[in-house]
Chains A and B, each alone.
Chain A
Amino acid sequence: MPTQSRTAARRSSLGALARRPETGSLIGFVVVFAFFAALGGPVFMGAPGWSSWLNIAAEVGIIALPVGLLMISGEFDISVGSIVPASSMMTAMLAGHYDLPALVAICGGLAVGLAVGFVNGLLVTRTTIPSLIVTIGVMFAVMGLTLGFAVLIKGSTSVSYVPTPMAKALLGQFINNMFNVAILWWLGFVAVFFCVLHISPIGNWIFAIGGDRESARNAGIPTSRVTIGLFMASGFCAAFVGVVQVMTYQQAQVAGGQSFIFNSIMCVVIGGVLLTGGSGSILGILLGTMTFAVVNQGVFFAALDPNVGPIIVGALLLAAVLSNDTFRTLALSAAAKKA
């Protein structure tokens, strides 16, 4: 019967939609954006509004991508909070204090991230300490080292550096004096991480490790190598943001970057990644990051009390986890009913 088959088709496409982990995040983003668009008016909808939240989104977004992949594989990375200033400091120190070429300084900054990520990965895979604790420990160690070396070498907690025009244009320029060039880098990272998670076979390994590490290892997946690789990716991305900050603000501080810890996790969770691993998507993380950034900046445009911002972010986080759970249950039951 035509009516019946049409209902069946609609149900299955609804089921397919509910099965997508990012459905909840998409609804969340649309609601939040509409809310602030209504309150913020034309200024928020114009270039100033867009640039302000996109600039925030780009920086936290670059870190949220690998943090999300790690969470899908069942791990946390808190150390990103100290990798950002450590890599800024390294870059500024090499280029500003030792007058080395910009390229060397940038590589030095990124190497800090890769090295810290490698240490994280080794500690997590070789010991039984949970990654949450390992990376908190590493975060404090890196924080201390950064401060120690800065004071030892420069005798100060900040180093300034005037980037070469080339380095500035690539990593720290504001397009139209508004849009940070990092936004383009962010989109590039999104594309790369999308390929890794959803197109390459490695993505399947990451999901499997998060789903059941023991079974994944039994299935012949190199779980330790994947985990170490993911920690190095998150170290690299955090270091990249550190380099971008030096190029943008022409200065490196030993502190700062702590906000990235919770913000990156928040973006990832709002984006529908399961806190215990095994489920999530890049599109979701992208939407989660955009939602977070819109709330973060929309408050100023909406002429609300700035203190309202964190309240909304907090409520959003809870709502996101609730709705993601609902959609996950829907996805599972939709699959069961179809049988």
Chain B
Amino acid sequence: MPDNATVLEMRGVDKSFGPIDVLHEISLKVNEGEVLCLLGDNGAGKSTLIKTLSGVHQPTRGEMLMDGKPVNFVRPKDAQDMGIATVHQFGGTYPLMSIGRNFFAGAEPTRGWGPFKVFDRRKANAIAVEQVRKFGITGIDDGDRLVGGLSGGERQSLAIARAVYFGARVLILDEPTAALGVKQAAHVLRIVNEAKRRGLAVVFITHQVMHAMAVGDHFTVLIRGAIAADFRKGEKTREEIADLMAGGESMADLEADIEGYMETHEGHPPPPVH
């Protein structure tokens, strides 16, 4: 399989907070037009890793490269200026503001000149609706609608469409499907595919293996701050990935344990461990 051009790369990155080492020798590549799925259980270091990618934290050791050139992000703004956009679960949208106003928060289109600059509501609404619809959210046709009235999936899509419109090249999606229902999650996954089709490099953080399998080209499993596995699409089955994420403790074993207990205890599940 020919590799697409690498946009963002980490080489042997360590991150420590004082005496606590959180990330150990992380090396990964995010390629153009590909989705890199970052899998890992809670506390595996996923958040620290994406915060390092997006310039919130600086690596303690190791280097980061953008288009093959070393970069040093001192603030999140530096990463943004290089085209790295992070979309959090509900971040980046303001429920009591209209779609148009949300879309252009911080980069408002204006009419007029000098101190008499006027927020161009019509233009903002038109562009916002057009961009969101391009991502397949056809239910949105009125830029004056409040974002709080949209579904979780639509809000995610709005945030992603916004990042893409403002020139993002690397899209970091932090658990975008975690709080969503099945239908809404499918919606967001379609958006991720659309972003990929447009040639964006996507980092998709999740602990839902199904969602990762649906869009991912490349998978990295993080356990206790280190890369435990790194493989391409089709190289591992769903069960294998789930087992990896659970830290080697096989999910199948766990299931067998519970079933065994139920068989010998008249169908009652084992009492919860305290």
Contacts and interface: CB of A to CB of B under 8 A. Distances in A.
Same complex for A and B? Answer yes
Interface of A: 16, 19, 199-201, 203-205, 207-208, 211-212, 214-216, 218-221, 274, 278-279, 328, 331-336, 338-339
Interface of B: 76-77, 80, 86, 91-97, 101, 104-108, 110, 117-119, 139-140, 142, 144-146, 148-151
B91 A204 contact: no
A279 B96 contact: yes
A216 B146 contact: no
Given A221-B106, A336-B149, 6 more contacts: A201-B108, A211-B94, A211-B95, A215-B92, A218-B92, A335-B148
B167 to A, nearest CB: 12
Contact of B77 (A205, A220, A279, A333): A220
A74 B146 CA distance: 19
A65 to B, nearest CB: 19
B119 A200 contact: yes
B149 A334 contact: yes
Interface of A is mostly: helix
Contacts of B118: 199-200
A332 B149 contact: yes
A329 to B, nearest CB: 10
A328 B76 CA distance: 34
Contacts of A335: 145-146, 148-150
Interface of B is mostly: loop
B105 A208 contact: yes
A338 B145 contact: yes
B96 A336 contact: no
Contacts of B86: 218
Given A204-B105, A278-B97, A219 B149 contact: no
6 contacts: A201-B108, A208-B97, A211-B95, A278-B95, A278-B96, A336-B151
Contact of B142 (A199, A211, A219, A338): A338
Residue of A204, A208, A274, A336 with most chain B CB atoms under a 10 A cut-off: A204
A274 B96 contact: yes
Contacts of B76: 218
7 tightest Cβ-Cβ pairs between the two chains A and B: A335-B149, A211-B94, A219-B106, A201-B108, A336-B149, A279-B96, A335-B145
Contact of B106 (A199, A205, A331): A205
A274 B96 CA distance: 10
A205 B144 CA distance: 17
A220 B105 CA distance: 9
A204 B80 contact: no
Nearest to A198: B119
Nearest to B119: A201
Contact of B94 (A215, A328, A332, A334): A215
Nearest to A201: B108
B176 to A, nearest CB: 15
B94 A220 contact: no
B101 A204 contact: yes
A33 to B, nearest CB: 28
A212 B88 CA distance: 12
Contacts of B77: 220
